Amino acid sequence: MRQSQLLMPTLREAPSEAEAASHQLMLRAGLIRQLAAGIYTYLPLGRRVLRKLEQIVREEMDHAGAQEVLMPAMQPAELWQQSGRYEVYGPELVRLRDRHQREFALGPTHEEVITALVRGEVSSYRQLPLTLYQIQTKFRDEKRPRYGLLRGREFLMKDAYSFDEDWEGLHRSYMNMYEAYNRIFTRCALRYRAVEADSGSIGGEGGTHEFMALAEIGEDTIAACSCCDYAANLERAEYRMEQTVTSKQEQEKEGLQRLHTPNIKKIEQLVEAFSLEADRFIKTLIYVADGSPVAVMVRGDHEVNEIKVKNALSAVTLELADQDTTERVTNAPTGFAGPIGLPIPVLADHAVMAMESAIAGANERDYHIGNVKPLVHLTHAHTGDYRNAEAGDHCPRCEEGRLTFHRGIEVGHVFKLGTKYSEALHAKFLNAAGSEQPLIMGCYGIGVSRLLSAVLEQHSDENGIVWPKSIAPYQVHIVPVSAKDQVQMDVAAHIEARLQEAGIEALLDDRDERPGVKFKDSDLIGIPIRIVVGKHAADGKVELKYRNDAQALTISIDEAVAKACEK
């Protein structure tokens, strides 16, 4: 491809609206242009990269035995009403009417459509297992579209759906996708972790993993082990407890102390007033779980993990109690709640029970109590893991590892759905025994356009993009220093022809620009190999430079072609 003909509008400066590094690079290197908030056009370079990502995804899906289909974006509202999601999905669902005033939605995901399809086409266990996928444009009217392709309103997703006759089958299909995802992200040269995620309200039994690209701009926090593979979303990260509990006898010596703490409500204020570390206090929070108040206690330096609390209580709703409820339950304003004498269920985190002696709220305005010995005074508490994991906690899976924290971008998601959609949409099959049962489903998404941004968050330097070879828009950038020099142009064209013969994609900068401009653009668009054809071209020598290397090699034309063809 000749660069003079290529629509590749590079920019010297990053447009001010772009906050994320990947978004800036995509605008500067002329990969995308915005049409409306969260809606983008892919220019030729961007389209080429997106195609490569699509192709990697497609190859690995095919390799895993999934079959490609293409489903419509425009979906009748009735389907969404049948699954119950027409209401639940809320304003993220793009809704429209046809000329007959029939309601439609633009698909944000395709569980409804695929379940309705399979309902009609699959009726026997002999047709199972089945995994179908598509690579297709999705619509979500996101509240805050941002960071370019990271959170778009129209974006490219690969979505796959598996259908099995039983849960063991689902597990096999799930692991098959899980492994395909590992291959896909590895081929894209992404640094990522597969994390255990919370299945929330749509989850069936069994599990869900999110694939997180590690990047500062990421919206999620991941706890990962320093030694083994363990990684989880903060909301469900576990850790191994240290055994530091002293015996009850040792603790029984002294009694409780009443401490006057006028207006001192927060842990930071207590730390200051008593000159003690936060880990010497018990933090008591009053929640309302499914309408009933409960108290949750964690150590002063820890944070309550509401998902763990909710799961422990098997509660559907959990929220912090309002001022009135707190006063009614504790007889004191917020800030003085404590474990002793509360008329409601009390949940105490393991770390609280391991404290020898602590200061806690007294359930009385302006008072705390000291010398609280959990093993003695909190025998009524339900002990469990109710806190967020912290950096430095012991890994729950291996001996030596400690947890470290990272920010992550969710690029993929695998999910055991179970029978949620097959039941709602009556997608049933006859099992081997001849009785009818709902299909057991899984769903598996990859944000293909988001993946492009995620790769860029990890692969750039101060001069621009540094594409991994597997998804670079071109493999080789041929740059004659002077477009007016016929020898240079002839050598460049000769290299281009030989690369083309070898099936290597090359871009030739034939523009009549200053060398500085050409090199700056070349660095910015980040093609992995650059061959500079300069004043030694007449002697058959050119310079070859890898984008991620500082040094250029002066070599013969043949050697340059050979290197450019290396796998």
Out of 445, 464, 480, 528, the only residue in the binding site for ligand ATP (CB under 6 A) is 445
Alpha-carbon distances, residue 427 vs 164, 167, 316, 362 (angstroms): 12, 16, 27, 57
Out of 142, 279, 366, 505, the only residue in the binding site for ligand ATP (CB under 6 A) is 142
Alpha-carbon distances, residue 187 vs 51, 181, 182 (angstroms): 14, 10, 9
Q: How far is the CB of 407 from ligand ATP (least distance, A)?
A: 13
DSSP state string for 442-481: EEEEEEHHHHHHHHHHHSEETTEE---GGG-S-SEEEEES
Using DSSP's 3-state secondary structure scheme, residue 338 falls into coil
Q: Which neighbouring-strand residues pair with 39?
A: 36
Out of 412, 418, 442, 526, the only residue in the binding site for ligand ATP (CB under 6 A) is 412
Q: Is 109 in the site for ligand ATP (CB under 6 A)?
A: yes
Q: How far is the CB of 200 from ligand ATP (least distance, A)?
A: 9
Backbone angles phi, psi at 479, to 5 degrees: -125, 100
State how far the Cα of 313 lies from the Cα of 515, in Å rounded to an integer.
Answer: 68
Of 482, 417, 473, the closest CA to residue 444 belongs to: 417
The site that binds ligand ATP (CB under 6 A) totals a number of residues, namely 15
**Per-residue string for binding with ligand ATP, 480-519, x by CB under 6 A?**
----------------------------------------
Q: Is 251 in the site for ligand ATP (CB under 6 A)?
A: no
Q: How far is the CB of 31 from ligand ATP (least distance, A)?
A: 15
Q: How far is the CB of 411 from ligand ATP (least distance, A)?
A: 5
Out of 30, 46, 107, 152, the only residue in the binding site for ligand ATP (CB under 6 A) is 152
Of 533, 452, 567, 479, the closest CA to residue 29 belongs to: 452
CB neighbour burial string for 133-171, b if at least 16 within 10 angstroms, e if fewer:
bbbbebbbbbeebbbbbbbbbbbbbbbbbbbbbeeebbb
Alpha-carbon Rg for the chain in angstroms:
30
The residue at minimum Cβ distance from ligand ATP is 447
Select from 68-76, 373-381, 411-419, 482-490 the region that touches ligand ATP (CB under 6 A). Answer: 411-419
Q: How far is the CB of 418 from ligand ATP (least distance, A)?
A: 16
Select from 65-73, 160-168, 429-437, 446-454 the region that touches ligand ATP (CB under 6 A). Answer: 446-454
Q: Peptide bond preceding 129: is omega within 30 degrees of 0, i.e. cis?
A: yes
State how far the Cα of 499 lies from the Cα of 558, in Å rounded to an integer.
Answer: 11
Nearer to ligand ATP, 140 or 394 (CB): 140
Other Cβ atoms within 10 Å of 419 Cβ, number: 16
Out of 335, 370, 447, 480, the only residue in the binding site for ligand ATP (CB under 6 A) is 447
Q: How far is the CB of 225 from ligand ATP (least distance, A)?
A: 23
Q: Is 140 in the site for ligand ATP (CB under 6 A)?
A: yes
Nearer to ligand ATP, 412 or 526 (CB): 412
Q: Is 155 in the site for ligand ATP (CB under 6 A)?
A: yes
State how far the Cα of 340 lies from the Cα of 363, in Å rounded to an integer.
Answer: 8
Q: How far is the CB of 477 from ligand ATP (least distance, A)?
A: 29
Nearer to ligand ATP, 37 or 502 (CB): 37
Using DSSP's 3-state secondary structure scheme, residue 179 falls into helix
Out of 58, 119, 151, 387, the only residue in the binding site for ligand ATP (CB under 6 A) is 151
Of 181, 227, 241, the closest CA to residue 208 belongs to: 181
**Chain residues that interact with ligand ATP, rule: CB under 6 A:** 109, 140, 142, 151-152, 155, 157, 410-413, 445, 447, 449-450
